[in-house]
């Protein structure tokens, strides 16, 4: 706490404490605002509202900084992998070798789905969206592991290690089985001798009698994709997880809610929109030049540019941009979509129109290209995002559950409806 901040309402001044974070972020503590003044703060979309104190992820959008537990994303992307970074995000420190190996074994050994889940997959129509299936079946995991989903915060927190390993492992199996169900392919069992992403790609892309072989570094590229999506502070889905967790809901229910929030096209569906945009540009015979001019005149919308938080280059986009080139080179695929993407990127970095509006490429700009190159269908892009974001969601569930002072989240509102009125019986209402 620092000196108090003063808010003047009418002729009266009110003092409120100022909170300062470890990176210098400052906030006026308004938890007593309504009690002191009778007013509430109105901030639609919570763009200027701190909903919690958190020690997981720090973002400075103006400077393009992203750090997990103090470690820059650039260093994690270069030196770590998804599971090690997941451990860091969930437990607060980098693991030693013994801890990391135990963490990996616990996750990799939990990949097999209960045989009783098979009819659940068969009960969904083939047209069912994979995010709907993922959300439903993640929630259903609580019924197969009721000892870890008691909705008693203290009990569930005591089982966090086991429950989190089940979630991180089985979410891949659910995604893979959903994909194979849609194609009428048999399920491929999880193989705990493979790495996290190798096993997932094998479950997902193996053909009957032809096991998947990674000849182009797809597993490494997907592992990097997961790492770069592992957490991103208080976004829509993470805030949803924290709100559900604040009620005392178990880990499985809270993560299922986060998946549903991520499903929205303004959040997790943005990378799908990028591919659709690039395909549309290519189909029109444009190399991207005409589209750039159309965007500048307001006649076309650029997808994958700009960010709610970043007012600088998204640091994850820089990393994924290099990975996209590497993956396509190894595959030997000369994808015209990447050429178009590069032209759009150059325009964003060199054209005053985009620079003045801070419309830099974001992580969605390149993630769709990488997923498409690996062979993952567009409708499964958001599922990939969800798999990557699981560690961050679970870390936030853990953080709020460990806080003895945490209260159920209950935002206020400004009511704009009708004033009090008397009930009119049906026969007397205007026809």
Query: Which residues are tagged catalytic?
Result: 307, 364
- Check if the beta carbon of residue 154 is closer than 8 Å to that of residue 404: no
Q: Which residues contact 20 (CB under 8 A, 6 or more apart)?
A: 1, 2, 26, 27
**Length of the chain measured in residues:** 431
d(CA 193, CA 6): 60
- CA 27 to chain centroid, in Å, comes to 25
Give the number of other CB atoms < 10 A from CB of residue 259: 29
The backbone torsions φ and ψ at residue 197, rounded to the nearest 5 degrees and listed phi first, read: -80, -35
| 4-9: strand order across its sheet | 4-9, 12-20, 26-28
The backbone torsions φ and ψ at residue 325, rounded to the nearest 5 degrees and listed phi first, read: -65, -45
Q: Calculate helix-pair angle for 270-283, 363-374, nearest 10 degrees.
A: 70
Query: Given phi > 0 = left and psi -120 to 50 = alpha, else beta, which region is 64?
Result: left
d(CA 342, CA 314): 16
The DSSP code for 361 is B
d(CA 350, CA 80): 32
Concatenating the DSSP letter of every residue in 140-183 gives HHHHH-GGG--S-HHHHHHTHHHHHHHHHHHHHHHHHHHHHHHH
Residue 61 CB-density burial (10 A; 0-12 exposed, 13-18 middle, 19+ buried): middle
């Amino acid at each position: 706490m620092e000196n108090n901040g003063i808010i003047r309402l009418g002729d009266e001044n009110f003092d409120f404490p100022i909170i300062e974070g470890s990176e210098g972020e400052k906030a006026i503590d308004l938890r007593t605002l309504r009690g002191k003044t009778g007013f509430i703060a109105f901030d639609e979309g919570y763009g200027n509202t701190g909903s919690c104190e958190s020690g997981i992820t720090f973002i400075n959008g103006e400077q393009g900084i992203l750090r997990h537990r103090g470690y820059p994303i650039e260093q994690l992307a270069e030196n770590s992998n998804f599971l090690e970074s997941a451990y860091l995000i969930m437990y607060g420190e980098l693991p030693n070798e013994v801890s990391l190996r135990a963490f990996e074994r616990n996750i990799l050994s939990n990949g097999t789905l209960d045989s009783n889940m098979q009819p659940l997959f068969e009960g969904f129509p083939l047209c069912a969206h994979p995010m709907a299936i993922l959300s439903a079946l993640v929630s259903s995991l609580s019924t197969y592991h009721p000892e870890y989903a008691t909705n008693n915060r203290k009990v569930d927190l005591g089982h966090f290690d086991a429950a989190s390993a089940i979630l991180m492992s089985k979410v891949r199996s659910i995604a893979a089985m959903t994909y194979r169900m849609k194609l009428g392919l048999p399920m491929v069992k999880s193989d705990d001798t493979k790495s996290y992403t190798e096993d997932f790609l094998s479950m997902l892309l193996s053909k009957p009698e032809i096991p998947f072989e990674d000849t182009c570094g797809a597993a490494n590229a997907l592992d990097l994709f997961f790492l770069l999506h592992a957490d991103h502070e208080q976004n829509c889905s993470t805030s949803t997880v924290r709100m559900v967790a604040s009620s005392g809901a178990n880990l499985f229910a809270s993560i299922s809610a986060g998946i549903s929030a991520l499903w929205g096209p303004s959040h997790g569906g943005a990378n799908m929109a990028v591919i659709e945009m690039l395909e549309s540009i290519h189909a029109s015979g444009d190399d991207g030049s005409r589209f750039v001019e159309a965007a500048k005149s307001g006649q076309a919308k650029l997808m994958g540019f700009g960010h709610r938080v970043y007012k600088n280059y998204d640091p994850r986009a820089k990393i994924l941009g290099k990975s996209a080139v590497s993956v396509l080179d190894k595959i030997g695929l000369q994808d015209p979509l990447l050429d178009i993407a590069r032209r759009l990127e150059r325009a964003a970095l060199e054209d005053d129109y985009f620079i003045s509006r801070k419309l830099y490429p974001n992580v969605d700009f390149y993630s769709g290209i990488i997923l498409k190159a690996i062979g993952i269908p567009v409708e499964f892009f958001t599922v990939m995002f969800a798999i990557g974001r699981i560690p961050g969601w679970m870390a936030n569930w853990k953080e709020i559950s460990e806080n003895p002072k945490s209260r159920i989240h209950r935002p206020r509102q400004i009511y704009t409806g009708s004033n009090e009125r008397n009930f009119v019986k049906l026969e007397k209402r205007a026809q």
